Amino acid sequence: MPDAAYTLRSQATELRRLRLQAEVWEPAGRSLLETLSAPGGAQAVDVGCGSMGWLALLDEWVGASGRAIGADVDDAMLAAAGALVEQRELRRVDLVNDDLFATRLPAGEFDLVHARFQLCPLGRHEEQIAIYRRLVKPGGTIVLEDPDHSTWTFDPHAPATEQLVDLVVAAFAAAGGDFDAGLRGAPLLASVGIEPKVRRTVLALPPEHPYLRLPLEFAQSLRPRLVELESEAHVDALIAEAEAELASPRRVGRTFTLVQSYGAAA
């Protein structure tokens, strides 16, 4: 990986997690896109698209004569995205291997630049927004989607799972990321001259919804980081207790807040 701070590798759990996550947040994305009109022949890019990202949404949004690019630096992610493109027959999507920080994408060409969960793992906020600003064409829109973890809770209270959430947030910070990057989206857009709008979405998860297990999936992907912060025995105990808490058929949860910060470039 070109970025030392990037903590989430393309392991099978991570590919699965990203696919589920994209499905969970698809309605929020669709609802935002319904407010943004696409010009004829629209060009869109999903930066760091992962294994699904907004590819299906952008395939629809760009319209019959438009194109959507899914860009990612990780070939395993692109292979999973390619399988999705084929399976869902996303005919307007092209996938490219591109390192955001040395991007070969054309400047000033995109009507829509979308970047979800990019600020939070990479944490290079000023560089990232400057690159997105270069990619978008005058009048085009930048959409940033990142979390704010303050709403991420369980009912009944799940103390071990909530401690695991705190540990995951700390692991992002220790690796140079910023889990609560959703709070930075609007000021970052303003810093490049874009008047920001903000939408916030929190989902209520019913018992046994697979996205309730997100803290456990992060714990698996980030395990090497977690054991730098806490003893292995403590991490293992938390994971075992969280497994038991989340297996309860009575436990519901709320997601982190998905913060969508967006605005049009002059």
Which residues contact ligand SAM by CB under 6 A?
2-3, 6, 8, 18, 21-22, 48-50, 52-53, 72-74, 77, 99-101, 116-118, 121-122
Q: Terminal CA-to-CA distance of the chain, rounded, Å? A: 34
Task: Pick the closer one to ligand SAM by CB: 114 or 251.
Answer: 114
For residue 128, the minimal CB distance to ligand SAM (Å) is 9
Do the Cβ atoms of 23 and 223 come closer than 8 Å? no
Q: Which residues of 32-63 are buried (b: 16+ CB within 10 A; e: fewer)?
A: bbeeeebeeebbbbbbbbbbbbbbbbbbebbe
For residue 64, the minimal CB distance to ligand SAM (Å) is 25
Pairing mode, strands 136-148 and 257-264: antiparallel
For residue 99, the minimal CB distance to ligand SAM (Å) is 5
Residue nearest to ligand SAM according to CB distances in the complex: 50
Task: Pick the closer one to ligand SAM by CB: 20 or 252.
Answer: 20
For residue 63, the minimal CB distance to ligand SAM (Å) is 22
Task: Pick the closer one to ligand SAM by CB: 160 or 182.
Answer: 182
Under DSSP, is residue 3 helix (H, G, I), strand (E, B) or coil?
coil
The CA distance from 147 to 167, in Å, is 16
Task: Pick the closer one to ligand SAM by CB: 50 or 158.
Answer: 50
The CA distance from 199 to 203, in Å, is 13
Task: Pick the closer one to ligand SAM by CB: 52 or 62.
Answer: 52
For residue 232, the minimal CB distance to ligand SAM (Å) is 25
Residue 224: what residue type?
P
Do the Cβ atoms of 168 and 147 come closer than 8 Å? no
For residue 84, the minimal CB distance to ligand SAM (Å) is 11
Task: Pick the closer one to ligand SAM by CB: 101 or 193.
Answer: 101
For residue 214, the minimal CB distance to ligand SAM (Å) is 12
Tokens for 132, please give them: 């997105």
The alpha carbon of residue 145 and the mean position of all alpha carbons in its chain are separated, in whole angstroms, by 6
Task: Pick the closer one to ligand SAM by CB: 6 or 110.
Answer: 6
Closest listed residue to residue 77, CA positions, set 51, 43, 113? 51
Q: What is the number of alpha carbons within 13 Å of residue 183 lying toward its C-beta? A: 8
For residue 256, the minimal CB distance to ligand SAM (Å) is 13
Do the Cβ atoms of 155 and 207 come closer than 8 Å? no
Do the Cβ atoms of 32 and 10 come closer than 8 Å? no
Task: Pick the closer one to ligand SAM by CB: 69 or 73.
Answer: 73
Closest listed residue to residue 24, CA positions, set 246, 253, 251? 253
